[in-house]
Structure 1
Amino acid sequence: MQKLPTFGLRGLPLLAQLAISCLTTAPLHALILYSGLNSENLSAPDSEREAIFDAVASVCNSSGSSRNGSAVRIRGKYMLTARHVSTNSHVTFDGSTFWARDTAFTPITFDDVDLKLFKLIEDPGITEIELHSSDAGDDVSSGFSGGRPPFNLISTEVTGTLVGWGRGSSENGSGFVEGDDQTWTWANTYSKRWGTNRIDSTPAISGLDDYDYSYTGLSIDLDSDAGTDEAGLAVHDSGSGIFVENDGIWRLAGIATLVTTDGSSTFGSSEQDSNFFVRISSYASEIEAAIPDLNTLSGWKTDHSLYNADADNDADTDGDGISQLLEYALGGDPNVNDTSILPHSTLVEENGNQYLELSLTRPTGLTGISYLPQTSSDLNNWPSDSSGIVDASPTPSDNGDGTETLIYRRSQAVTASDQAFIRIEVIEN
């Protein structure tokens, strides 16, 4: 069983318990369109919105036979969904490739907000989605009188694009007449679909029976005069996104949480359903702060799913002989055996003499560690500082790909000693 939070059209809160259908041979469809058609809006509406369409996933098991809701990938391995959505073992963005959730990563929640951040094992490699972080563009900030739904509408119209993996309509558009009020019952079919709707207000959501969340929200109404792409939420659209365009960029404005009617969606001119979202701009700074900083050692370890003993600086989970601390310092992946990241030495000639140099490439912006170049004429006696190195802090050369290269040179020519060695010691600050 899955609980889809709802509240009644006359303000009577209720929490509907909806059966999860795990297996179906019917075509997979999602969101409820005003037209009721299940064959529409199954791919991105245009190139400008391709990234936001691609970013929405179904929260599911490893085969997609069991679904819990939707989620939005915002950056790297990190995804947002509604807190009431049960996090299953995988997500899928296209229905065929399944990405495993990092079950050792405890989802991050935000006080009493129906919102949480969870993590995948691998980065799906799709375009990052910006969070809408200002009032302009996702709503207007006046005109809401509080109370219960339906909420007061606001004259300023801001249309967002919804993308979700919920149910389609049972009727599949049968009997539809454009301009008429229409009620569609939810079918047992799933896929990703987009639609549009106007953001009408920013209600404060709190004090609902069987729904222990409080937050600033966004609301939309299901209108019958807004075109056939007008869309509403259904079960398993919880955790999906509504996106708005601002300054030419489509950003995530809300995460879907609530509907006013269980089991159907009514589009109308005066009597219609409403849907609700967590307003992202109210929590954007908290969300950003919750995403691990990959330029810190602790954030890097979390991002690479290194926990407990695997997170020890001396651990070597991929067996390539490079410790976790060195993997971080050299921009490696601790879960991929790869010795190509190691520094390499060479002999360079200057004024007729040859010198030993060591070249090191690292990610830019790393914090929490220091690099100490050292040189010795044997492998047993190393100085505690960088004596014998021409420049212990050379100016890095930017490689233009997020990495930089540093070159350390031994000050003595190779002819001054029978043998010479140079190394870099990485120290956690």
Structure 2
Amino acid sequence: MSIAVGCAVMVCAVAALLGWCAGASGVILHPAGEPNLAVWQDRPPTAVIGRWGSNASCVVVSPNCIVTTRHQGGSTATVVRVDGVAYGIDRIWNHPRADLRVVRLLGAAFNDFVDLYDAGGEIGRSVVIGGYGLIRGLELVTGGTVYGYSWQATGNTVLRMGTNRIDSIPAPASGDAYTSEILAADFDGLGSGFATQYECTVARHDSGGGWFIKRDGQWRLAGLSRSIEAHYAEGHEDDPNYILEQSWFRNRGQPELPDPDYLDAVRIGPYADWIRMALGSPMPGDLNEDLRVDFADAAILGLHWGRTDCAAPDFCGRADFEPDGDVDFDDLAWLAVHWLTPGLDP
């Protein structure tokens, strides 16, 4: 659990222990503000948002790669589903500090994918948020006034999308083994003067879903859903045994007062170059595809040194860089050119 802007914030890396990060179905919207995705056209294509296993979401950023958060777990055995099709995983690159990973999928050839938003100036920008998290359940009422909604425990098979506005770029969020640059928003009540047309927040299993900004006529990925404000049973504040799966936009005790929930996302801009390096992998010399050329790659080259039988598709573990069928000093030169290249370390 961490504290941000004066409120308790639930980060799924901790809440996974409580079952907060395991399943999906869609973002939380107000009943009077739900979009019809068949009619709403000014949004990213639905096919750019996928499902990470059974407990999170992801975003397509190239013909064969997705990005998602790390805190929900997973491995190369995780099944990723995009536009109804299941894919295995070929390679995962985990950022060494941030709650972020790039994943290359087996057999993928996507037509729909989004570029990265790295232009800055996110504060005040409208965003479209999408994911496969839990949907809205019953209204929560105090004294006849609705102050929020419970979450309905459903499966992770239905994509939902909504809108919000970025309010701030807080200090980097740390804890739960990750330190991430973040974007923050809140869940306003419709008609409050601050709400967007399809005002939404996120819920369990939306982690890794996209926050999209439209720039130069193109939708670009600005963030990945990361955390939300936590709520507790009355008399049990900050007790993880009494967490409520709910979203609020008014104060529970004084519902006449606005009290919008906080939500945030891993900010993509500061990590755009690192993501693009992963998307462009393998680079010459990077034999183990860890986005750097170092002694580990030299060791692989040494294992294949002197071979003259290199052929497609492997070309001696890619140690035959040219490729010309053998591993010799020409290949060593390729490794030397990229040796410890500045910028490879994220």
Q: TM-score, normalised by structure 1?
A: 0.56
* 1:294-333 alignment runs, 5 A limit: 296=284, 323-324=312-313
- In the TM superposition, residue 35 of structure 1 has moved relative to its aligned partner by 2.1
- In the TM superposition, residue 92 of structure 1 has moved relative to its aligned partner by 1.3
- In the TM superposition, residue 266 of structure 1 has moved relative to its aligned partner by 1.3
* 1:232-251 alignment runs, 5 A limit: 232-251=201-220
Structure 1 vs Structure 2: percent identity of aligned residues?
23
Which residue is equivalent to 1:218? 183
Which amino acid in the other structure matches residue 93 of structure 1?
A: V
2:322 to 369, 375, 393: 369
Which residue is equivalent to 2:40? 45
Which amino acid in the other structure matches residue 19 of structure 1?
A: G
Which residue is equivalent to 1:188? 153
Cα 1:215/1:295, change in 2 over 3 Å: closer
Cα 1:122/1:214, change in 2 over 3 Å: same
- In the TM superposition, residue 184 of structure 1 has moved relative to its aligned partner by 0.9
- Which structure 2 segments of 5+ residues have no match? 232-244, 251-256, 291-299, 332-346
- Does 1:32 pair with 2:40? no
Q: Which deviates more from structure 2 when the two are superposed, residues 272-281 or residues 120-129? A: 120-129
Which amino acid in the other structure matches residue 120 of structure 1?
A: L
The structure showing larger relative contact order (alpha-carbon pairs under 8 Å, at least 6 residues apart) is: 2
* 1:27-426 alignment runs, 5 A limit: 29-35=25-31, 40-42=35-37, 45-46=40-41, 49-51=43-45, 53-60=46-53, 67-87=54-74, 89-94=78-83, 96-102=84-90, 105=91, 107-136=92-121, 138-139=122-123, 157-171=124-138, 182-189=147-154, 190=156, 191-208=158-175, 211-224=176-189, 225=192, 226-227=195-196, 229-261=198-230, 263-268=245-250, 270-293=258-281, 296=284, 323-324=312-313, 368-369=321-322
Matches of 1:246 and 1:79, distance apart in 2: 20
Matches of 1:42 and 1:183, distance apart in 2: 23
Cα 1:228/1:181, change in 2 over 3 Å: farther
- In the TM superposition, residue 98 of structure 1 has moved relative to its aligned partner by 1.1
Matches of 1:33 and 1:193, distance apart in 2: 9
Larger radius of gyration: 1
Please list the CA deviations of residues 17-62 of structure 1 after superposition, one character each: whole Å capped at 9, or x if unmatched. Answer: 4437989xxxx8411012278x85455831x5343x31111112xx
Cα 1:301/1:261, change in 2 over 3 Å: closer
Number of residue pairs matched by the alignment: 283
Q: CA RMSD in A?
A: 3.9
Which amino acid in the other structure matches residue 45 of structure 1?
A: W
Cα 1:56/1:287, change in 2 over 3 Å: same
SS at match of 2:55: strand
SS at match of 2:161: strand
- In the TM superposition, residue 112 of structure 1 has moved relative to its aligned partner by 2.2
Which amino acid in the other structure matches residue 179 of structure 2?
A: S
SS at match of 1:200: coil
Q: TM-score, normalised by structure 2?
A: 0.68
Cα 1:315/1:260, change in 2 over 3 Å: farther
Which residue is equivalent to 2:19? 19
